Amino acid sequence: MKIDKNTINKIARLSRIKLDDKESEDYINDLNSILNWVEQLNEVNTENVEPLSIISSSILPKREDVSKDTNSSEEILENAPDKLEGFFAVPKVVE
Partner 1 sequence: MPKSSLKQTLQDLDTKKISIRELNQDYLKRIKENENLNVFIYFSEDNVLKQIDNLENDNSAKKLKGIPIAIKDLFCTKSMPTTAASKILENFNPTYESFVTQKLLDEGSIFVGKTNLDEFAMGSATNTSFFGNTINPLSKENEPLAPGGSSGGSAAAVAADLCLGATGTDTGGSIRQPASFCGVVGIKPTYGLCSRWGIAAFASSLDQAGIFSHNVEDASILLQSIAGFDQRDSTSAKVDIPNYFENLDDNLNGKTVGIPKEYSIDGTPMEISQIWEDAIKVLEKKGVKIKNISLPHTKYALPTYYIIAPAEASSNLARYDGVKYGFRSDEIDSLDEMYENTRAQGFGREVKRRILIGTYVLSAGYYDAYYLKAQKVRKLIADDFNKAFKECDFIVTPTAPSAAFPLNEKQNDPIKMYLNDVFTVPASLAGLPGISIPFGKDKNNLPLGIQILGKHFDEQQVFNAAVSLERSYE
Burial class, 8, CB count within 10 angstroms (exposed 0-12 / middle 13-18 / buried 19+): buried
Q: Is 79 in the site for partner 1 (CB under 8 A)?
A: yes
Select from 5, 17, 73, 84 the one that contacts partner 1 (CB under 8 A): 17
Our finding on whether 54 is near partner 1 (CB under 8 A) is: yes
Q: Distance between CA atoms of 67 and 92, rounded to whole angstroms?
A: 32
Which one among 6, 22, 38, 67 touches partner 1, defined by CB under 8 A?
38
CB of 34 to partner 1, least distance (A): 6
Query: Is the Cα torsion angle 19, 25, 29, 35 positive or negative in sign?
Result: positive
Chosen residue from 6, 53, 67, 71 binding partner 1 by CB under 8 A? 53
Of 4, 5, 34, 84, the residue at the interface with partner 1 (CB under 8 A) is 34
Secondary element (H or E) of residue 11: helix 5-15
